[in-house]
Amino acid sequence: MNKQVTNPVNLTAEEFMHPGNRACSGCGLSTLYRIGLKALGRDSIFVVPPSCLTVMQGLYPIAATQIPCLNVTFASTAAAASGVRAALKVRKKENTKVVAWAGDGGTSDIGIQSLSAAIERGEDFLYICYDNEAYMNTGVQRSGTTPQGTITTNTPIKGKIQKNKDLPKIIAAHNPTYVATCSAAYPLDFYNKIIKAISLKGMKYIHIHTPCPSGWGIAERLSITVGKMAVNAGLYDLYEVENGKKTLSGPSSKLLQKKELPRVAEYLKIQSRFRALSEQQIAEIQAEIDTKWEGYRQEVG
């Protein structure tokens, strides 16, 4: 495979997303969507459940995108994408890419059953989950991927009691063709992982840590900064899983060389959603990160 490195200069100039969409200012998703469409190209069909993306794509009869898109019910994304793929197969249009693009609630909670089944059946499409760690479109309610301690509108005082689901790990346990994690703060890493994913047959899954200024309680200009902090503190790891093997990728793999990573407290304290966390809880999160990275370093040797 041609391993040309994508950079802002050689990134395709063609745009598939019109300017003037309905994303909030500083939205991590809007960056990802623009870059994602460039990587996917014109010969693609999208399947989208209710999410911020539904709104971002525009209200009838105006669309902010130049890719055909089927809006579907919340729980049915992966099943509807399977139906689109089946139709393209019988119509002998197998080169057209089918892409499901959903949020964390739509993937880890209400959509996990149909997604799990689609992977088990060995469907051939790319499923992208942008994880902004809560139900942002309905006004910031906790989801399965909301981290412990997060203040949301239905965990308003104490913060979420439970830990989050490790969704990419759950997906990887199904042994699909390809699993990758990305961050909206590293859009070119996302671009390259899409290029790789669409070159493969079978079920591909990309999970993206996606800062949301209004939901996370950060200034709009800090969206990318916060995303980078999560990766660089070793809290959110970017990796790929192929044939059952997990490999740290891009920005995360570089952290292996570092003796010490920036403290996670910096990342947590910049966001008002974590204001209920005690120093004790922050220390526990740091300890978990330290143990995890100790393990990574030992694996590499």
Partner 1 sequence: MKRIESGNVAAALGVKLAKTQVVAAYPITPQTPLTEKLSELIEAGELEAEYITVESEHSALAVCIGAASAGARAFTATSANGLLYMSEQVHWAAGARLPLVMCVVNRGVGAPWTVWNDHQDSISQRDAGWIQIYVNDHQEIIDTVIKAFRLAETVSIPVMVCYDGYYLSHTHMPFDVPDENKVDTFLPAYSYKHTLNPESPENLNTVTMPFARPDRDGVNKPGYMDIRHNLQQELRTSIPVFEEIDTAYKAIFGRGGSPILSAYKCEGADFIVAAMGSLSNRIKDIVDELNLEGLKIGVLSVHLYRPFPQAQIIAALQDAKGVIVIEKALSYGNQGALFGDIKAALYPCIKRPFAHSYIIGLGGREIKKADLYDAIKESCTTSETFEDTSRWIGLNR
Footprint of partner 1 (CB under 8 A):
42-45, 47, 54-55, 57-63, 65-73, 75-76, 78-91, 96, 113-114, 116-117, 120-121
Residue 271 gets which letter from DSSP?
-
- Cβ proximity to partner 1: between 70 and 276 the closer is 70
- Cβ proximity to partner 1: between 80 and 208 the closer is 80
CA distance 102 to 238: 19
Rounded least distance, CB 54 to partner 1, Å:
6
20 contact partners, CB below 8 Å, separation of at least 6: 64
**Structure token digits, residue 177:** 């063709």
Rounded least distance, CB 50 to partner 1, Å:
9
- Cβ proximity to partner 1: between 123 and 240 the closer is 123
Three-class secondary structure of residue 248 per DSSP: strand
**Structure token digits, residue 103:** 């949020």
- Cβ proximity to partner 1: between 85 and 142 the closer is 85
- Cβ proximity to partner 1: between 42 and 221 the closer is 42
Rounded least distance, CB 124 to partner 1, Å:
12
- Cβ proximity to partner 1: between 85 and 273 the closer is 85
- Cβ proximity to partner 1: between 77 and 271 the closer is 77
- List phi, psi (to 5°) of 274: -100, 15
**Which of 172, 109, 102 has the alpha carbon at shortest distance from 131?**
102
Q: How many CB atoms lie within 10 A of CB 249?
A: 20
Rounded least distance, CB 110 to partner 1, Å:
10
Side chain identity, residue 124: D
Rounded least distance, CB 65 to partner 1, Å:
7
Rounded least distance, CB 205 to partner 1, Å:
17
- List phi, psi (to 5°) of 135: -80, 85
CA distance 56 to 39: 19
Rounded least distance, CB 51 to partner 1, Å:
11
- Exposure string of 216-228, with b = 16+ CB inside 10 Å and e = fewer, is bebeeebbbebbb
